[in-house]
Chains A and B, each alone.
Chain A
């Protein structure tokens, strides 16, 4: 394994993070908060450390393979979180380092689960950093680095593949750097558009920035204790729409820009995504309508909640924990399904679900007619049997990890709905679960062990299992 090159990449990640800390530092300057000093110290420390790592590692051989890519990405994310948590603890605003790490992992992985009983106590620069970590983690730090850094040959693909969600990564244009740039441009454009729409509705600048970051990364850290309840209906509707937009595969936007409308129309994942969204909204609305003053109002809140849960954002306007059991189960199912591949959302992804369903149907069909050959298609193109196999084993590992985590968290002795939904909410990068960790609860009462397990779940969910799991394989660290 090329350890020098990994150290080099890790150094570059630290340096990138240091640059991004300039933003909360600016926020601290604007709002004249002394807590901002801790960003300055962390920033300098991270820059120094990152620079030293890049200089000292000086890799002679710059070749990396899939394994190095996976290891670099997972270590990079752990490093990012450990450094990003420092300002919280140093400033004393989140006294326990473990809690701070949980909070920032929840930020970078765009989960949005919080250990804070009352977020409004945090200083503004801390709130800003928390929300901004969503934006950064949503599209990925390495994707950002690849937009600037040029790796020789096609090696960047190993990093991109490890960080980007979805069963298969497709570049949009031949060169990796250009691909990353396009992704970030689309991301930035949508972000700016949302900020403008918020401002038009009269939302204060700080709120619009933080809420947009939370939506764009499909994160869900709110800056108010009641999440989105106190905002106007207009602002809630803007959020509903943008959560849905950020849950779509970004290549769809690229196709739209290139005027390849037929590719958008043929896109299987987009069809499934919208179908699932609208049927969930319909079913839940019918179920909860009596709880709201009017059907229109019910649709408004249900659409917000479904959009929030399905794209794994985790904002809330209504406390869906009080909804009937049928609606709650639908929400749990949506949590597992998640958003589209290649978006900023989490979960197992709609495309994987589509492939699983299609292959299951083909297998059932084969029981009745043993000699039929049925090719599974996505976007009008056949899916290779190998990819179907990969999706199957992904689903299996996904389930096993979920069960293992539930078992560990159950040691704390909370009720089944809290335990299961806590794991689901973190593992799928959603944020709030049900019961004690529901929209009005938080994660602070869990034991240290559970917090560590849930933190790892968040990383596993965001990086889609393999990068994290490869760290645990003994073969990774043995000499070749």
Chain B
């Protein structure tokens, strides 16, 4: 597919890398030549220097023949303008990044009148993910499928847990909750899609799929159910903090925001009358304690500086181990060590955005067969969880799962049929209209039939 990306910034470059690896033809436009040169060194793509909103530049980049234009420059207005012009130039779909909360209210207006296919707001997407995680404090990370009816949760197995040292086949005898363990991370690099013989160890980071109630029951039976979160402390009053606070307040939680810039504090208190806004420096131990760190149930480090976020989270983990900790990290260059540090749940607006866009591209790409409804990149992109809708023409319909020639490194996590959630066994079949969650380390699945072993000859 031909894709044009406007803006070779952090998100633009990450998207270009992701999408070109998935085999798309990428052209990237930026105003200055220097970042373009760097990107062209690393990736197989075409670069065009110029203003992405200019018709001539768009023509040079081949927007007239492109299926998709993604505008991710630093300015919201420019992004919208790019998409508007691109529609006139002839791009089939357009995606704009819009970050300013002021515009988010008029979103439906913007999308329809400008003919946008999708508006991504990295901070809002990220904040939604964080809010979801705070709802189930035992999990490090949560993602949802089937409009929130199915959850993919990740947690770390503590040493005194009854299931540590047991194989997966023994699991149903120990817990009465229908869950399916689909990925286990051990140490820094080791990731397995486990079979029934796989033995769990304390310290493993386990990802599993379950229906809503089953997930909570699972945690409860393993005595992992932490007390629900009532009070959250946010450090850094940026856009994520604003979106997050709004969602948390709506859910009835009490929120404290510690922000070092006085003007921003005033702004926030105007925007979020129900939140407690504190003026102070989060990197200062004393002001953290003074702000009532010990009384909070969860702590989120959301300043604009990664190093500060990492340090604060490590401090909180050490002094108040009871707290659920959330760390925002923008740069993903040192992903391997951030996984090894004790930082609680790590979130990055950049990853959230690229996931959102990739999901859209996959859905566009999927042919008449089955379509990707949802896509999550797990464990630093090394694993993917995809949700497909089963169409009647698909080759997988009606055959018991154990008889399907499934590819290796792939697992069917969960089937949702008419609002009911099934954790599949070998006898279950896939029926048209089902939606099914597939966990895999195979990159670039775009249709449900891809899960089958390709027939030779």
Check A154–B43 contact: CB distance below 8 A.
Answer: yes
- Number of residues from B at the complex interface, CB < 8 A: 15
Q: What 8 pairs across the A-B complex have the smallest Cβ distances?
A: A154-B44, A174-B25, A174-B46, A154-B43, A174-B45, A176-B44, A174-B26, A174-B27
Interface on B for A, CB 8 Å cutoff? 2, 20-21, 25-27, 33, 40-46, 49
Q: Do residues A154 and B27 form an inter-chain contact, with CB atoms below 8 A?
A: no
Residues of B with C-beta under 8 A to A154: 20, 40-45
CA distance A155 to B45 in the complex (A): 11
CA distance A155 to B2 in the complex (A): 20
> A387 → chain B, closest Cβ, in Å?
10
Interface residues of A (CB under 8 A from B): 66, 153-157, 171, 173-176, 178, 381, 384
Given contacts A171-B46, A174-B46, contact A384 B33 (CB under 8 A): yes
Instruction: Let me know if A157 and B41 touch, CB within 8 A.
Output: yes
Cα distance A176–B45 in the bound complex, in angstroms: 8
Of A66, A174, A381, A384, the contact of B44 (CB 8 Å cutoff): A174
Within the complex, which residue of B21, B25, B40, B49 is in contact with A175, where a contact is CB–CB below 8 Å? B25
Identify 28 residue pairs between A and B in the complex whose beta-carbon atoms are under 8 Å apart, listed by A's number.
A66-B41, A153-B21, A153-B44, A154-B20, A154-B40, A154-B41, A154-B42, A154-B43, A154-B44, A154-B45, A156-B44, A157-B41, A157-B44, A171-B46, A173-B25, A173-B46, A174-B2, A174-B20, A174-B25, A174-B26, A174-B27, A174-B44, A174-B46, A175-B25, A175-B44, A176-B44, A381-B49, A384-B33
Q: Is the CB of B42 within 8 A of A153?
A: yes
Which of B26, B27, B45, B49 is the most central at the interface, judged by chain A CB atoms within 10 Å of its CB? Answer: B45
B25 touches A157 (CB 8 A): no
Residues of A close to B26: CB separation below 8 A: 174
Q: How far in angstroms is the closest Cβ of chain B from A78?
A: 26
- Other 19 A-B pairs with CB < 8 A, given A156-B44, A171-B46, A174-B2: A153-B20, A153-B42, A153-B44, A154-B20, A154-B41, A154-B43, A155-B44, A157-B41, A157-B44, A173-B25, A173-B46, A174-B20, A174-B25, A174-B45, A174-B46, A175-B44, A175-B45, A176-B44, A178-B25
Q: Closest residue to A150 on the B side, CB-wise?
A: B44
CB of B60 to closest CB in A, whole Å? 9
User: B193: shortest Cβ distance to chain A, in Å?
Assistant: 23
Residues of B within 8 A of A153 (CB): 20-21, 42-44
Contacts of B42 in A (CB 8 A): 153-154
Contacts of B44 in A (CB 8 A): 153-157, 174-176
- The binding surface of chain A is classed by DSSP as loop
Least CB distance, A275 to chain B, in whole angstroms: 26
B282 CB to closest chain A CB (Å) equals 39
The residues of B that contact A176 with a CB separation of less than 8 Å are 44
Report how far A381 CA is from B41 CA in the complex, Å.
22
A173 CA / B46 CA spacing, docked (Å): 6
Give Cα distance in the complex from A90 to B20, angstroms.
48
- Alpha-carbon distance between A297 and B21 when the two chains are bound, in angstroms: 58
Rounded to whole angstroms, the CA-CA distance of A155 and B20 in the bound complex is 13
A174 proximity list for chain B (CB < 8 A): 2, 20, 25-27, 44-46
Return the chain B residue nearest A155 by Cβ.
Answer: B44
B27 contacts which chain A residues (CB < 8 A)?
174
Q: What is the distance, in angstroms, from A333's C-beta to the closest C-beta of chain B?
A: 33
Residue from the set A171, A174, A176, A178 with the largest chain B CB neighbour count within 10 Å: A174
A153 to B20, CA, bound (A): 8
B-side contacts of A171, CB under 8 Å: 46
Enumerate chain A residues within 8 angstroms of B41, measured Cβ to Cβ.
66, 154, 157
Q: What is the bound-complex CA distance between A176 and B42, given in angstroms?
A: 12
For the complex, what is the distance from the CA of A156 to the CA of B27, rounded to whole Å?
17
Would B33 and A157 count as touching, CB distance under 8 A? no
Closest A residue by C-beta to B43: A154
**Nearest Cβ in chain A — how far from B1, in angstroms?**
11
Determine the chain A residues whose CB is within 8 A of the CB of B45 once the complex forms. 154, 174-175
A153 to B21, CA, bound (A): 7
Contacts of B21 in A (CB 8 A): 153
Q: Which residues of B contact A384 (CB under 8 A)?
A: 33
From B33, which residue of chain A is reached at the shortest CB distance?
A384
In whole angstroms, what is the CA distance A194 to B381 when docked? 52
For A65, the closest partner residue in chain B by CB is B41
CA distance A176 to B33 in the complex (A): 20
Q: Which residues of A contact B43 (CB under 8 A)?
A: 153-154
Q: In angstroms, how far is the closest chain A Cβ from the Cβ of B91?
A: 15
Distance between A156 CB and nearest chain B CB, rounded to angstroms: 7
Q: Which B residue's beta carbon lies closest to that of A156?
A: B44
A residues near B40, Cβ cutoff 8 Å: 154, 157
A384's closest neighbor in chain B, by CB? B33
- A155–B43 CA distance with the chains assembled, in angstroms: 7
Cα-based distance from A313 to B78 in the complex (angstroms): 50
In the complex, chain A residues whose CB is within 8 Å of the CB of B46: 171, 173-174
Report Cα–Cα, A91/B254, bound state, in Å: 90
Minimum C-beta distance from A369 to chain B (A): 27
For B25, B27, B43, B44, the residue with the greatest tally of chain A CB atoms inside 10 Å of its CB is B44
- A43: min CB distance to chain B, Å: 31
Bound: A363/B49 CA distance, A: 26
Least CB separation from B65: chain A residue: A258
B20 / chain A contacts, CB cutoff of 8 Å: 153-154, 174
Q: In this complex, which of A156, A171, A176 has the most chain B Cβ atoms within 10 angstroms of its Cβ?
A: A171
CB distance from B97 to the nearest CB of A (A): 21
CB neighbours (8 Å) of A156 from chain B are 44
Residues of B within 8 A of A173 (CB): 25, 46
Smallest distance from the beta carbon of B326 to chain A beta carbons, Å?
33
Shortest beta-carbon distance, A416 to chain B, in Å?
44
Query: A386: shortest Cβ distance to chain B, in Å?
Result: 9
Q: How far is the CA of A384 from the CA of B34 in the complex (A)?
A: 10
Smallest CB separation, A265 vs chain B (Å): 15
Which of A154, A171, A173 has the most C-beta atoms of chain B within 10 angstroms of its own C-beta?
A: A154
Q: How far is the CB of A254 from chain B (nearest CB, A)?
A: 12
Which residues of chain A come closer than 8 Å to B33, judged between CB atoms?
384
Q: Given the complex of chains A and B, what is the CA–CA distance between A364 and B192 in angstroms?
A: 68
Bound form: Cα–Cα A178–B27 in Å: 14
Output the least CB separation between A206 and chain B (Å): 40
Contacts of B2 in A (CB 8 A): 174
- A68–chain B nearest beta-carbon distance, Å: 13
Measured CB to CB, the closest approach of chain B to A332, in angstroms, equals 36
For the complex formed, measure the closest distance between the CB of B2 and the CB atoms of chain A, giving whole angstroms: 8
**CA distance in complex: A469, B198 (Å):** 56
Please give me the residue from chain A that is nearest to B26 by CB atom: A174
